[in-house]
Amino acid sequence: MVQSTLIHGRYRLLDLVGRGGMGEVWRARDESLGRRVAVKCLKPLARREDAGFLRVLRERFRREARVAASLQHRGVTVVHDFGEDDGLLYLVMELLEGRNLSQLLADNKGQPLPLAEVLDVAEQVAAALAYTHAQGVVHRDLKPANVMRSEDGAVKICDFGIARLAHDIGFTARISGSGTAMGTPHYMSPEQIADSAVDHRSDLYSFGCVLYEIATGSPPFEGADPWAVLVGHRDTPPVPPCVHRPDLPPPLATAILRLLAKAPDERPGAAAGLAGELAAARAQLPGAWTGAWGTTAFPGTPVAPAAVGGIAPLWMPPWTHGMHAGLPAGGARPAGTPPDGAPVGAG
């Protein structure tokens, strides 16, 4: 897409906001209503010659767009419109002025966010997930880049339906149709890595990864080798976040570790179940808490050896082949790691 393109005779593209594996996000003007909006243009897969594929793609796009548009919560980005224009699928959303969590971490040079801000994000995202999960909607790709903090302090989750659409049309949230890796494994649940069925508890695990990173400055599992990250999610207990940040209130550390349980049944049953721990953590903010939380692994997370020499264990599903570890949200990269080369922006 190029600047000044008019979508469906109504949405004038003004400037590119971000680019990701599924397409581009533009700041645009709704010529009919005279307001600024965000337009997500999905890659023009309509160039494919398979008429059956195109029919399925359009139907599934409409289905996911309707689901996204049905979500009405202060913590979820509003979808105003969707459609197809000359083979281009597009979503029209509210334009959010602010920074996503990935950008906030980068602005902070990879250092953790202030505790009050961490708790504010945690409470708002938990409320949004409690709502969407109650509607039967699972995000599937929760990560710092998909959580926006507006200038007024509101926190909103973006891109509901996009990961599901990618999966349904044969991409998955990680791999493009050409087999090229998309995204990063830093926020994937063990069941996603195993290519198993996922439900709302997968979102909770990804939420735990996001909270761990904004609270400590690093994701729970790192490594230049993607297998080290994947095997970490599957087998290795995360280092308790208080080891990285001793002033973290114990209730918040407990909540994060509960979210990061390997087995879905050991995670909270719902995002709303975190309310007590988050409230207790907030009550401890006025007085600085000191002392280590300890290094005991969270119960029920057995330790298994990591892949040797960077070779993937045989159990890894085919879609993981060629995956690069990617960058954590803060942008830190182990010394000697080559550039990822993946597009930057909204996924």
141 is catalytic: yes
HSE-up of residue 271 (Cα within 13 Å, Cβ side): 24
- From the candidates 30, 107, 120, 141, give the one annotated as an active-site residue: 141
Q: What distance in Å separates the CA atoms of residue 325 and residue 236, rounded to the nearest whole number?
A: 16
Cα radius of gyration (the chain):
20
Q: Which residues are catalytic?
A: 141
